[in-house]
Amino acid sequence: MNQIDLAGQVAIVTGGAQGLGFAIAKRIVASGARVSLWDMDAKLLGEAVAELGDAARSAEVNITDAEAVADAHKATEAELGPVSIVVNSAGVAGANHTLDTYPLDEWRRVIDINLNGTFYVNRAAVPSMKERNYGRIVNIASIAGKEGNPNASAYSASKAGVIGLTKSLGKELAGHDIAVNAITPAAARTRIFDQMKQEHIDYMLSKIPRGRFLEVDEAANMVVWLVSKENSFTTASVFDLSGGRATY
């Protein structure tokens, strides 16, 4: 494992108690930073913090609540110090339906978590980063946000929105030493698969030229560089993790 130096920094990882978020948090801690895991699952948060040790803290946060997000950010800085790294990994797959039969409440839920939640977290984190003229933000999008997956219009649209948000914010902050980037992973075999039909899982696998799903540590390896000081120039960009699926 290549060593990335994040010593003395403080990170927030949403969805940090499980899946991609936990793998990223684990690699961030291994690189010397302290981390606050934000998640809604208290049991998993406890288990995650216990595994990561003294460098980790946790907060039960519903990212669809803008006020709660702002309060959690203030509490994290009060406890751990200035937050210089934010990784937005919290998200849901949503139900699989054709667009014309997609349940309206489910559409709103997916957009609220995946897109609005990412907006609220970015919005809370940016002011203090601007004050210190330093920060690194990575928003987890998806290959579905580039190409669109059939029977997953809500998820595809929400992740396309995350890509657009990232590009916009990255350009807004380009005059500061604040990098805002997104990654577009192919599916990884995490608990998000529990929300999907088997035929949808099979479809996603069939589209990956490498012939396998993403390993969570592979995502963590890319993210930890993106949130490091070594990433001093690239911003408003999208980094592919699709195993060859992406065509652009």
DSSP-based three-state secondary structure for 62: coil
How far is C-alpha 3 from the chain's CA centre? 21
DSSP-based three-state secondary structure for 166: helix
By the 10 Å C-beta count (0-12 exposed, 13-18 middle, 19+ buried), 65 is classed as middle
β-pair type (34-39, 56-60) = parallel
Contact between 140 and 91 (Cβ < 8 Å): yes
Contact between 243 and 187 (Cβ < 8 Å): no
DSSP-based three-state secondary structure for 188: strand
Tokens of 116: 């609005």
Tokens of 196: 């999907």
Marked catalytic residue, from 120, 155, 203, 248: 155
Q: Is 155 a catalytic residue?
A: yes
CA distance 133 to 204: 40
Contact between 245 and 143 (Cβ < 8 Å): yes
> Among all residues, which ones are annotated catalytic?
155
